A and B are shown apart, each in its own frame.
Chain A
């Protein structure tokens, strides 16, 4: 068994090393083996590239195909895979780009990656029930005040000093114009109200409140923080907007001191 492990380790090392040579791993003519091994490596990197392109179409358009292919290879080598699902392959790209010198001239790329990853993961997040207005309305004032909500699994909050939303829209099929000024703050809720991943621009107050909710603070606290961050923050507009976007997971059963008739909703 130890021998097999060694063999696998040598195989993997040769596969990941630039120009790695399988050496005496296989029987047969060495140059033929090297060629076949290169094919195998080609498959691996082509799969990496496709997996990454599937999640990051805008970044691919921004940097071009050749650069993107090489980026996929650098990323695949630099970031150890922790799971077998290639759909999750790109999940650490934003952090990788933060410290990747070749893209230092494009400082908006990491945040764009965060936005694109949010959309990607919104696409195949589990279809768990959303919090409904009915559930919330049944709670009463005290219930609302102390309620601790969780963002729905398909939702991500993205904030950037760059106009990543504008950049994305400029690359959409509708072909919006390039953003006039890239140094423009983006505050975004990525969500999936029905079946499609969507982006919803947020006000500063909304973002502050949603962040507080995401940190586990009560709804009453969070709404107050929204008002602190932005004097124009209006919960009577914001909360219905969030609910319409499917921003929250259905309330779990274990809320203290509250009976919430959500289980039947969820099951029906």
Chain B
């Protein structure tokens, strides 16, 4: 037997012992979790665009009116990074 064969034999043994439990666990999970919808994906103004109530009242005249400033949590984390950013 080569080293690779030994490795494969050990892998095979490991796989064989995991068998039944996993399949059973997967089945249990399926029963309980039917019908999960991604949060926010099933409301009125959904992401598929079949409804668009969210957009009904918004007008958009000019696309060039935004400032390139990110005001999210990047700033909170960003301070730690300035040194590491090598661009």
A interface residues (Cβ-Cβ under 8 A, vs B): 17-19, 34-35, 38-39, 41-47, 50-51, 53-54, 60-70, 73-74, 77, 85-87, 101-107, 123, 130, 132-134, 136-137, 139-141, 144-145, 167, 170-171, 178-183, 193-196, 220, 223-224, 227, 235-237, 239-240, 243-244, 246
Contacts and interface: CB of A to CB of B under 8 A. Distances in A.
Given A133-B15, A144-B11, A182-B84, A43 B56 contact: yes
Contacts of A130: 26
A235 B11 contact: yes
Interface of B: 4-5, 7-16, 18-19, 22-23, 26, 29-30, 33-34, 36, 38, 40-41, 45-49, 52, 54-64, 66, 68-74, 76-78, 80-81, 84-85, 87
Contacts of A236: 10-11, 13-14
6 contacts: A47-B54, A62-B77, A86-B49, A123-B38, A137-B12, A239-B14
A195 B25 CA distance: 12
Given A103-B70, A195-B30, 6 more contacts: A42-B57, A45-B63, A62-B70, A85-B48, A105-B85, A243-B18
A141 B59 contact: no
Nearest to A109: B74
A195 B58 contact: no
Contact of B73 (A43, A61, A134): A61
Nearest to B38: A123
